[in-house]
Amino acid sequence: VLPFFVLFCRCCPFLLVRNMEYRNKVILAPMVRCGTLPLRLQALRYGADLVYTEEIVDKRIIASTRVVNEQLGSIDYIKDDSVVFRTVPEERGHLVFQIGTASAELALAAAKKVIDDVDAIDINMGCPKPFSVGGGMGSALLSHPETIRECKT
């Protein structure tokens, strides 16, 4: 069992949050190919309270390896010599990891993989892009309430 409570809001239908106040905050929303470390750090430096990663597909983060990058002072998740996700201590207390998933089991495995390095987990249920919807992720989940229910339990 993960030490979280469930929070719902319009922009994030499903969030698992650990000791994070989510109301009345300036938030960098999740954006495809934009929510990487450099933009998240800039947003924090300019006053954002919370920053989201870009949507990262469950299978990709599950297949990655967690590496402590001493040179950069970061935690990197690497797959096939490519950085899937990177975070630094400056983000602690502010970072929401967004998972693209169509499966409660894979969502849980992905969340467990990164949970010690992030402050909240968001399951993307709003993205209309063809890649996500075609894979049963993003807004496609809204047509599958049983999967949403499984993700919540």
Per the CB < 8 A criterion, the answer to whether 73 and 65 are in contact is no
Long-range contacts made by residues 138-145, C-beta under 8 angstroms, separation at least 24? 138/55, 138/100, 140/102, 141/102, 142/13, 144/102
Residue tagged active-site, from 12, 34, 127, 151: 127
Catalytic, 127? Answer yes
Residue type, 50: L
Enumerate the active-site residues.
Answer: 127
